[in-house]
Structures are given as C-alpha cells and as structure tokens.
Amino acid sequence: MRWLVIASLAACAGSGPPAPAPPQAPVPRTRADDPPAVDPIAALAPDLPDEQVSWLVPGRVQLELGGAELEGPGGDRPLEVGVIERHGSFVRAAVRLPHARFSAWTDRARLLALLRADHRIGAGAGPGASGDVHAVLRAGARVRRLARKGGQTHVRFVGAVEVEGWVPDELLGDAGPRRDPTSRIPSGRRTLLVIPGAVIRTEPRWAAHALAMVADGHLVEVVREVDPAWVEVAYADGDVSVRGYLSRRDPPGRVHRAKDPEVPPPAVVPNGKAGSGTCLYARARGDAIGYLVGDRDVELEDTGGGWWSLAIDTPWGAVAFAARGVAGRELAACAPAGSVPAPAGTAPPAPPTP
C-alpha cells in the first residue's frame, strides 16, 4: 500500500504543469542595419577595394566595449577612419596611422555625416535679388550634425565657405567613397580676395538672410557690382556652390573652423623596440585589435605573465596597448601577410620553384 501511494503521488506530479524554464540572459539589441561582427585584424588592411570611409571627430573612445575610456587631448579636426562594426549607438572605427593600425569603439554621434545627394540649403532669394542666388551642398560633402527635428537634421558644412541649414535625414550617411580634396572651380570671372567671416546674403541688404560665410581668406568670383557697398559673388568647388551678395562694409561673422589641441598631448618616452607587425591587444589576455606598421621605438613595461604594456603616440595622445611575448623582436605578431613591411634583417621570400 505504501508503494502504491508513492507511485500515485509521482504520477500526479508528472501530470501537473511543467516547471518554468530558467531565465535567459538578455540578447543585446542592435539596429536592423548593423552588419555582423568582423575580424578586426583583417578589417585593418589598407586600401581595401571599394572601401567606404568615415570621418571621426576625436573624443572619448574605448579599445573594447565596456573598457576604460580614452579621452582625446582636445581639438576637433576630423580623422579619416573606416567603420567596421556597429553595436547600438556605438561604432567600431578602424584607425590607420603611418606607424600603427588599430580599432576603437566610439559613439556614432562623433562621426561626421556625408551627403548622399546634392541639396539646396537655406531660404530662397528675396525680391531684390537675382534668381540664381543659392547655396547647394554637393553629394559627398562632410557636415557636422547640430540638431534633429521632424525627420530633418540641422547641419554645418565648413570648407572654403561655411554653410548651415536643414537636410532631410535620408540624405545623410555615415560613410562614402574616398575622395580627393576639392579645389575652387574657376569660371573665368574676376576674382576678389575677402576676409574670413565675410557674409554672403540672399539680398544686397544687411537684414537679408545669410546664405554662407567665407571660412578663410579666400577668392570669390565677382558676378556684378551692385553699388559701392555691395557686390554679387559666387564660389564653387566639389563640395559646395554659393551665389549671393557680399558687403564690403559689414563686420565679419564667426567662423567654426576645425581646431587642433591647444596643448599638444604628452608623447611617449621610448625605452625599447618592437618589430613590424607586433600585435596590439586591448588588454592583457584580451582581444587583438591592431598591429604596428614597421619597426618602431615604443615605451615598454613588463606587466608580468608574459604580457607587456606597449605605448605609442596616437590622435588620443599616448595610448598603452598590451603586447604578448618577450620584449623586442620576440613580441607576438598578428599582421596579415603583406600588410606591413617585413622586420629589418628578414630575408625576402624565395622565388617560386619553376
């Protein structure tokens, strides 16, 4: 009878609702257009076919997500990078310097936007102006995002001239084909050298809407003389085209030119050498995120267990990566074949046997 009761209880237990499954770890959410994870070492190879490039304003970065933040030395001059991975609002940028290549994570907001198509900026011309008055940003022009509202982004372009205005979000991207620097496209008109900050307006009057400002002392073309105070001018290059009215008497406006750091960051104090291709890790026993290009003088510190702190100069100042192995030329290398110069003293490969 006792065994019958036990069996009955077991059967009742088996017929009840199943025990709840253990909770699952949350899956990180990513955007639908986020590409899959990539090999960061392979992605650092230079001059990849059809590579899209981006422009990063230096600031806080992380060598690995969730790691210690590196703060830039100041300044806002953009740096050409390649976006190789995305994770939510963060992007992984491939940084290619003459002496090293590595990847770093940063907020997507630090990327300049690139126009995907030509776009006319600003208000139209008033009744006292020529019908050709305009400010147009060309496809590929790099702009800073200033604000966003109702599917539009307020942007600022700074080149030979500075232009601000609203652009539809769908016309802005984070990357585009690499382009040669643009220069003024002459039309044969007489030129005029003007001071930085000279304002180009929609009409020949001080209260008219500002279309653009001359960013540096630069040549504009004279379309026609309006009166002793005003002249109709034009400027065009591969990024921007402007035509409007410039006063010879108005004070200049404020121009937002890119700035270098006010105080140069401290440089590393080399105390050793590392061979070309030496692998750079985010931290000891962490992930490989880059490598040296050419034999380099570096700042080395033994951190124990076969790991070293290897510091080099970067746009973020002196950055200490981790390196594995023995100091000098015996540090582990991970550069893809053919991506860096061979270490000095290395014999060239033997020719293939016929």
pLDDT in tens, 287-332: 999 999 999 999 999 999 999 999 999 999 999 999 999 765 589 9
CA 28 centroid distance within chain: 24
- Indicate the helix (H) or strand (E) that contains 83: strand 79-87
Residue 56: DSSP 8-state: E
- The reported pLDDT for the residue numbered 145 is 95
Q: Which two tokens stand for residue 186?
A: 């002459």
Q: What is the mean pLDDT of residues 229-245?
A: 96
> What share of the chain in percent tops pLDDT 90?
62
Residue 34 has pLDDT above 90, yes or no: no
Residue 8 has pLDDT above 50, yes or no: no
- The reported pLDDT for the residue numbered 316 is 92
- Looking at residue 316, its amino acid is W
- The reported pLDDT for the residue numbered 209 is 93
CA nearest neighbour of 106 among 169, 41, 59, 45:
59
Task: Please report the beta strands in 227-325, taking only residues with DSSP state E, as ranges in sequence order.
Answer: 230-236, 240-247, 272-274, 279-281, 288-292, 296-304, 307-314, 317-324
> Counting beta carbons within 10 angstroms of the beta carbon of residue 318, is it exposed (0 to 12), middle (13 to 18) or buried (19 or more)?
middle
What is the rounded distance in angstroms from the CA atom of residue 220 to the CA atom of residue 229?
A: 16
Q: Model confidence over 120-142: pLDDT tens digits?
A: 987 554 444 456 899 999 999 99
Half-sphere exposure of 29 (CA within 13 A, CB side): 1
Of the candidate ranges 119-128, 147-156, 340-349, the one whose mean pLDDT is the lowest: 340-349
Mean pLDDT of the chain: 83
Specify which residues 95 forms β-bridges with: 102
Reported as a pLDDT band with limits 50, 70 and 90, residue 234 is very high
Q: Model confidence over 160-177: pLDDT tens digits?
A: 999 999 999 999 999 998
What is the rounded distance in angstroms from the CA atom of residue 94 to the CA atom of residue 115?
A: 21
Q: What is the mean pLDDT of residues 342-353?
A: 47
What's the whole-model pTM score?
0.78
CA nearest neighbour of 45 among 96, 92, 81:
96
Of the ranges 193-202, 257-266, 342-351, the best mean pLDDT one: 193-202
Decide: 301 and 322 in contact? Cβ < 8 Å: no
> What share of the chain in percent tops pLDDT 70?
81
Residue 25 has pLDDT above 90, yes or no: no
- The reported pLDDT for the residue numbered 338 is 67
- The reported pLDDT for the residue numbered 178 is 85
Can you give the residue ranges of every domain in the chain?
40-110, 114-247
